[in-house]
Amino acid sequence: MKRVRIDHAEARSRPIPGGDGREAQPRGPEIGKRGAVDHAEAGRRFLAAPEHAAFHDRRLWDIREKRDREMRGIDEWEALRTLASDIKAHVLDTLDTHLAAFERAATANGVQVHWARDAAEHNRIVGAILEAAGARSVVKSKSMLTEECGFRDAMDARGIAVIETDLGERIQQLDGEDPSHVVMPAVHKLRSDVAAVFARTLGTDPDNHDPAYLAEAQRQANRPLILEAQAGMTGANFLVAETGAVVVCTNEGNADLSARVPPVHIVSAGIEKIVPRTADLGVFVRLLSRSALGSPITQYTSHFRGPRPGGTMHVVLVDNGRTARLAEPGFREALKCIRCGACMNTCPVYRRSGGLSYGATYSGPIGLVLDPSLDRTRYATLPFASTLNGSCSAVCPVRIDLHGQIGRWRRVLAGEGRTSPGKRAAMKAAAALLARPAAYRRAVSAFGAALPHLPRFALYGPHNIWGRGRELPAPPRETFHAWYARTGGRLP
Amino acid sequence: MRIGLFIPCFIDAFHPEVGVATLALLQGLGHEVVYPRDQTCCGQPMGNAGFDAACAAVERLFVRNFTGFDAIVCPSASCVNHVRNKFDAIADAPEVRAVRAATYELVEFLHDVAGPEALPRVRFAHRVGLHNSCSALRAIGHEPAPETHVPFFSKPRALLARVDGLEIVPYEREDECCGFGGTYAVTEEAISVAMGRDKVERQARAGVDYVVSADTSCLMHQQGCAERIGLRHRFLHIAQVLAGMAA
């Protein structure tokens, strides 16, 4: 029989040169004028750390290439994407009935279901469960929702220790830094950065950058904490309405430890995580890991249907702005997102600026779409951190029109007066001039053919920004317009 | 066919030779080609910056200039993408729909309407890297979006097959955005330049003599990046090659 080698998350990745840097790790963004994240500045700083920037770009491009190979192995890939998108559309159209069905089924399985309107209510509910259980510490697997909710800080205030069990997330926790990617929280760090964090926090040898040594040290440090914890938490990749099951996909098995070693299991899940039937997982599970990491399936796909014997299980269903988004026709389809991170891996801007540069829970293309809903002022500039190249939309396993949504946010933000006054004035002046052909031609000839009004604005900007890293195009002898006027379009 | 020639503002100002080559190709196919003298710009720079609403008069002017032609042809995929897919500051009237539906990007017009075999055989004996812009790939459909699993085809390669001596040289990450992105080139200048340098360095490593593209805007950015770091390969619009006007 032919032996088939299965690609998994880490195996068969191309070794990426570098990773053993001596330069300092670039950190997150400054808050610029008008209270908004300055992504351009943070991106420039990331690029000014060439070992980090090159490694980050190559690592994620390698994953995009692995994703492409997996995709080409599935003839029905495009049909799967359509099915996934359609299932999610159906779920969003009938979310209320599916959520009620999930609650009934989960309750029948012995799960306690809670509803949280927002981040604060989520943190209150979970804090109360933990306090009722007498838990001084909780071990948890990775969850973007708990990042959204500022969960660790909220528990800190209650004197409850939250211990991350996902390796990348634990690195970020120990470094006091947010995750930079939805699937690979520490992908912006070199192994030398990890060695420095672990030397400081776990007492490892600062000069030993070997990934196996570092991973083992973290495992040895974390296992006793898992055994001691009185409660465990997971997120959810999918909530199955017909069975009440919670499905969690990981590569480290840490969700299983977090869910099943302590007597109390708390699941934090966004209300959009519903799929109607177990059979629908046949669509989503095939897409998820291929899109995320270019591997056919995660190492663990765990279905939690009830509490462990003698224990309790809670599911907290969180809204936190999702219902409001559902009511916005222009942006609701972003609720289809399954948090695979494929749009981040393929995004040329994300790969060259790093996830921290967005200063938000969600970075990359999906971040540009989700973040302004959460805070219009802080994230007002993020939708402009894109070339609108559309690769994000083309990789999206649930066919979210990401670059279309980014463009739509630009319209909303410009319409609300959230762009700079200089840009607004220039855009309106350009639009007015371009509507008047005679005035436009006078402006072109006044500035000379090389510097007509519009290209001058669009390409040069104030202080010749174009020319910092690029040469200017040589001015032609005459414009096309002048050539046509002179020759009547008759070719020599 | 009576064709309205739509010359984007940056081609008018910086690369008139691309407009001349486009006109030559269309005239060579036997079409009557008219350049409406009142044209300015389609409004894409404002649209991409979120200021579509300011562009109603620009769009009305565009429709007035180009109403009544059998086809409107433009040597820029991003401008055609704007007219075809985003042009909605004005109401969706029949004459607006007619102009939008009749607007073609040059490569798709030559491939889909005229047919590659209608092109004259020309000679361009060089090693050529093909740059497909993001709009050409993912909005106009010169080739399937490289991220998707659909059978391969290529309109620009079918046209370039008419050129004797031309060798298409593959290079790494051909389908990655070069970082121009309209106003993105200045709003996030450092990242834009980093993307552009990565692009032109990969072209140079593959040993191309020329990079050929259906989008002059990408080429202006790439050429600017290449010249700044002293790379020697050159940049041409596909119309210049197909018209035999690349010298």
How many CA within 13 A on the CB side of residue B113?
Answer: 19
CB contact under 8 A, A452 and B9: yes
Q: Name the pTM for this structure.
A: 0.95
Whether A479 shows a pLDDT value over 60: the answer reads: yes
The answer to whether A473 contacts chain B (CB < 8 Å) is yes
Continuous H helices in A242-337: 254-260, 281-293, 322-326
CB contact under 8 A, B9 and A469: no
pLDDT mean over B138-158 = 97
Q: pLDDT tens across A54-66, in order?
A: 999 999 999 999 9
The answer to whether A484 contacts chain B (CB < 8 Å) is yes
Token readout for A403 is 């670059």
- How far apart, in whole angstroms, are the C-alpha atoms of residue A439 and residue B95? 25
Whether B33 shows a pLDDT value over 70: the answer reads: yes
- Least Cα distance to A107 among A225, A229, A243, A276 occurs for A243
From the number of C-beta atoms within 10 Å of its C-beta (0-12, 13-18, 19+), residue A72 rates as exposed
Contact status, residue A194 vs residue A208, Cβ threshold 8 Å: no
Q: pLDDT tens across B90-143, in order?
A: 999 999 999 999 999 999 999 999 999 999 999 999 999 999 999 999 999 999
As a residue count, chain B comes to: 247
**Alpha carbon of residue A314 to chain centroid:** 26
Whether A48 shows a pLDDT value over 50: the answer reads: yes
Contact status, residue B89 vs residue B55, Cβ threshold 8 Å: yes
Contact status, residue A303 vs residue A246, Cβ threshold 8 Å: yes
SS3 (DSSP) at A440: helix
**Which of B54, B61, B149 has the CB atom closest to A77's CB atom?**
B149
In this prediction, residue A12 carries a pLDDT of 53
The answer to whether A390 contacts chain B (CB < 8 Å) is yes
- Least Cα distance to B174 among A391, A373, A12 occurs for A391
Q: What percent of chain A has pLDDT over 90?
A: 84
- How far apart, in whole angstroms, are the C-alpha atoms of residue A85 and residue A399? 6
In this prediction, residue A426 carries a pLDDT of 86
Q: pLDDT tens across A301-359, in order?
A: 999 999 999 999 999 999 999 999 999 989 999 999 999 999 999 999 999 999 999 99
Q: How many CB atoms lie within 10 A of CB A85?
A: 18
- Detail the DSSP E strand segments found in A260-416: 264-270, 274-275, 300-304, 312-318
Contact status, residue A301 vs residue A249, Cβ threshold 8 Å: yes
Q: What are phi and psi of A8, to 5 degrees?
A: -120, -165
SS3 (DSSP) at A208: coil
3-state secondary structure chain B: CEEEECCCHHHHHHCHHHHHHHHHHHHHCCCEEECCCCCCCCCHHHHHCCCHHHHHHHHHHHHHHHCCCCEEEECCHHHHHHHHHCCCCCCCCHHHHHHHHHEEEHHHHHHHHHCHHHCCCEECCCEEEEECCHHHHHHHCCCCCCCCCCCCCCHHHHHHCCEECCEECCCCCCCCCCCCCCCHHHHCHHHHHHHHHHHHHHHHHCCCCEEEECCHHHHHHHHHHHHHCCCCCEEEEHHHHHCCCCC
pLDDT mean over B154-161 = 98
Whether A451 shows a pLDDT value over 60: the answer reads: no
In this prediction, residue A450 carries a pLDDT of 41
Question: Rounded to a whole number, what is the distance in Å from the CA of A386 to chain B's nearest CA?
Answer: 7
Question: Rounded to a whole number, what is the distance in Å from the CA of B91 to chain A's nearest CA?
Answer: 17
What distances in angstroms separate CA B226 from CA A479, B54, B238, one per listed residue?
24, 35, 19
CB contact under 8 A, B149 and A78: yes
pLDDT bucket at A3, cuts 50 / 70 / 90: low
Q: pLDDT tens across A66-94, in order?
A: 999 999 999 999 999 999 999 999 999 99
SS3 (DSSP) at A26: coil
pLDDT mean over A193-201 = 97
**Alpha carbon of residue B236 to chain centroid:** 11
SS3 (DSSP) at A391: helix
CB contact under 8 A, B37 and A348: no
Sheet containing A274-275: which strands, arranged edge to edge?
A274-275, A238-240, A245-250, A300-304
Question: Rounded to a whole number, what is the distance in Å from the CA of A59 to chain B's nearest CA?
Answer: 14
What distances in angstroms separate CA A277 from CA A290, A303, A328, one per listed residue?
21, 13, 26
pLDDT mean over A96-116 = 98
CB contact under 8 A, A428 and B54: yes
Question: Rounded to a whole number, what is the distance in Å from the CA of B37 to chain A's nearest CA?
Answer: 7
pLDDT bucket at A163, cuts 50 / 70 / 90: very high
In this prediction, residue B46 carries a pLDDT of 92
Average model confidence (pLDDT) across chain B:
96
Q: What percent of chain A has pLDDT over 70?
A: 93
Helix (H) or strand (E) holding A147: helix A144-148
